[in-house]
Amino acid sequence: MDSKHIAIFIRYLPMGGIQKIAVRLANEFAKRGHTVDLVLAKGKGALADDVHPEVRTVDLNKNRVWFAVPVLWEYLLRRRPRVLLALGLTANVVATWAKIISVHNLRVVISVHNNMSRYSDNDSMWYSKYIPLSINLFYPLADKIIAVSEEVMKDMANISPKAGRKGSVIYNPVVNSEIPQKAEEPVSHPWLEEKNVPVVLGVGRLTPQKNFDLLLRAFARMKKERDARLIMLGEGNQCGQLESRIEALGIGNHVDLHGFVDNPYKYMANASLVVMSSRFEGLPTVLIEALACGCPVVSTDCPSGPREILKDGKWGRLVPVGDEAALAEAMDEALAETHDPERLRRRAQDFSVEKAVDEYLDVLLPDA
């Protein structure tokens, strides 16, 4: 067994926050000389091309993480990694099962990227109501648990005190040299090229959690007082509903549901403001990425993460979750102010990849 062999287990690799973290960690571990396997229940997704050539991608070829257990066990027998790091609820649970049936001294570390109490209340998956029970039963079986923010850790400890006692907080590895490089690439959107009307940017999956309906309503309210445009980057199952809302609000000429883009950073660097309207999060990467691009932000004060990232409003306005009027007012005020991009970029460095990778390796391989 290679004492520096790390396996990272995740469902698959669409463009999403957890998936970006998985790829970033895998690539950085490999650059530091570790043997790294990126183990995917189903090896598909937009981020697959971002995986470093030195990272070995293992496709278990199962549509559901639950169905991957036998194949994951065979992989562990064959490759015998020193540690298995899981990301995401279902991957976390399956990783603890793998520890139970493992025949070698496998260290299992799981990671929590969301406020699980809110996730169990809001998620539409069939197993949502069983999430607290799963955390109580299986999370304490892990050797260590990483939470992405203090609030996420507190929430998990409230659900399972035993799991909480195994927890450590490590902020996500977000900021690296790639973000400023990509932020400097030319952007082809006409609204961002004109510069004469402020552009608000929303970034994320078009799902109920992100609550883009609130952003649309707040934007329509603000637009009565200030000329502006709104670009929304992302795909998801609420696209049709949001298109209907845009039509109902009469803002079709001022909103662009732009869809997925490979490089959101060049949009952030040229936008006037990035707004996050979520109902709940873990440690929202989009806020950190926006700061790293020098773009001011406004966010709902949702659990968990925005208040930690923005230091109680020091680095960007916070508004109550679901408050359309407050969000519209905060957007208007932020657009009226002058911002120092360098100051925002300095704050983003607190979430650097290098710092996070150091802390992850201390947890994954404590005896290395």
Q: Are residues 149 and 197 in the same domain?
A: no
How confident is the model at residue 43, as a pLDDT?
Answer: 81
Residue 120's domain comprises 5-173+352-364
Q: Are residues 330 and 246 in the same domain?
A: yes
Q: Are residues 166 and 183 in the same domain?
A: no
Q: Are residues 31 and 130 in the same domain?
A: yes
How confident is the model at residue 17, as a pLDDT?
Answer: 82
Q: What is the CA radius of gyration of the chain?
A: 21
pLDDT-wise least confident of 69-73, 129-133, 223-227, 353-357: 129-133
Q: Are residues 210 and 128 in the same domain?
A: no
How confident is the model at residue 124, as a pLDDT?
Answer: 60
Q: Are residues 201 and 168 in the same domain?
A: no
Q: Is residue 285 scored above 70 in pLDDT? A: yes
Residues 96-112: tens digit of each pLDDT:
999 988 877 899 999 99
Q: Are residues 64 and 209 in the same domain?
A: no
Looking at residues 4-33, what average pLDDT do you find? 93
Residue 261: band (very low, low, confident or very high) from pLDDT cuts 50, 70, 90: very high
How confident is the model at residue 282, as a pLDDT?
Answer: 87
Average pLDDT of the chain? Answer: 94
How confident is the model at residue 15, as a pLDDT?
Answer: 77
Residue 1: band (very low, low, confident or very high) from pLDDT cuts 50, 70, 90: low
How confident is the model at residue 125, as a pLDDT?
Answer: 65
Q: Are residues 121 and 209 in the same domain?
A: no
* Rounded Cα distance, 253 and 251, in Å: 6
* Rounded Cα distance, 75 and 242, in Å: 42
Residue in 222, 227, 202 with CA at minimum distance from that of residue 333: 222
Domain count within the chain: 2
Q: Are residues 58 and 156 in the same domain?
A: yes
Q: Are residues 228 and 341 in the same domain?
A: yes
Residues 298-339: tens digit of each pLDDT:
999 999 899 999 999 999 999 999 999 999 999 999 999 999
Q: What is the CATH number of the domain that holds 62?
A: 3.40.50.2000
How confident is the model at residue 292, as a pLDDT?
Answer: 98
Residues 119-176: tens digit of each pLDDT:
787 656 677 788 899 999 999 999 999 999 999 999 999 999 999 999 999 999 999 9
Q: Are residues 148 and 284 in the same domain?
A: no
Q: Are residues 151 and 241 in the same domain?
A: no
